[in-house]
């Protein structure tokens, strides 16, 4: 059995995958990977990409403008050749050209997301928690004003793609809503 075959079989072990993705603190692992990926060493980057490709065939370097990278981070944030991974620009579609995998998902009922063995989470609570605990900024495009007012800190109203009103969420008055958003 070749080393590549052995590593592929190892990566298919459900218990090992569960351990690596659910028992190791994800935040710590993410920070470690972020640090590691920024090490400037073309040799280390090539070796890391080769190892990555042993476990997954989703790197698609043929889509990249360049093929050599000084760091793994440079590979992760690579520019693609023109026309690769076009984004669906329809207004009702949320899309991204990234090659990441969906780590978690679940059905949505109103503003409640069901994940983690059916345990419900409120989307607004998750947004507020991510902002408070990790300092993440989230761009929320929302039509339900009570929800936007509860989770937003700032707002911007666009008309034909141009800003017509903006400010702190407390400045989003009913008069502004009637003037700009009422059909």
Name residue, tokens 């400010």. 167
What is the structure's pLDDT at 115? Answer: 61
CA atoms within 13 A on the CB side of 104: 12
Reading the block at residue 41, the tokens are 């060493």
Alpha-carbon gap, residue 95 to 24, rounded angstroms:
29
**Nearest-angstrom CA–CA distance, 141 and 157:** 10
Q: Are 99 and 63 in contact (CB under 8 A)?
A: no
pLDDT of 41: 96
DSSP H/E element including 166: strand 162-168
Comparing 140 with 106, which gets the higher pLDDT?
140
**Number of other CB atoms surrounding residue 45 within 10 Å:** 20
pTM over 0.75? The answer is no
Q: Give tens-digit pLDDT for 56-90.
A: 777 888 889 998 999 999 998 888 888 887 777 77
| Terminal Cα distance for the chain, rounded | 67
Contact 140, 152 (CB under 8 A): yes
């Amino acid at each position: 059995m070749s080393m590549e075959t052995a590593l592929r079989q190892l990566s298919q072990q459900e218990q090992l995958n569960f351990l690596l993705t659910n028992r190791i603190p994800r935040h710590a692992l993410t920070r470690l990977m972020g640090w590691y990926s920024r090490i400037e060493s073309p040799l280390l980057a090539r070796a890391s990409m080769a190892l990555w490709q042993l476990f997954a065939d989703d790197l698609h370097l043929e889509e990249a403008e360049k093929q050599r990278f000084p760091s793994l981070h440079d590979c992760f944030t690579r520019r693609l050749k023109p026309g690769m991974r076009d984004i669906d620009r329809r207004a009702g579609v949320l899309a991204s050209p990234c090659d990441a995998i969906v780590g978690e998902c679940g059905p949505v009922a109103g503003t409640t997301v069901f994940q983690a063995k059916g345990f419900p989470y409120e989307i607004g609570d998750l947004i507020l928690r991510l902002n408070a605990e990790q300092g993440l900024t989230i761009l929320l495009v929302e039509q339900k004003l009570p929800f936007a007012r509860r989770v937003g800190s700032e707002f911007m109203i666009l008309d034909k793609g141009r800003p017509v009103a903006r400010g702190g969420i407390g400045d989003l008055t009913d008069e502004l809503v009637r003037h700009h958003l009422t059909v």
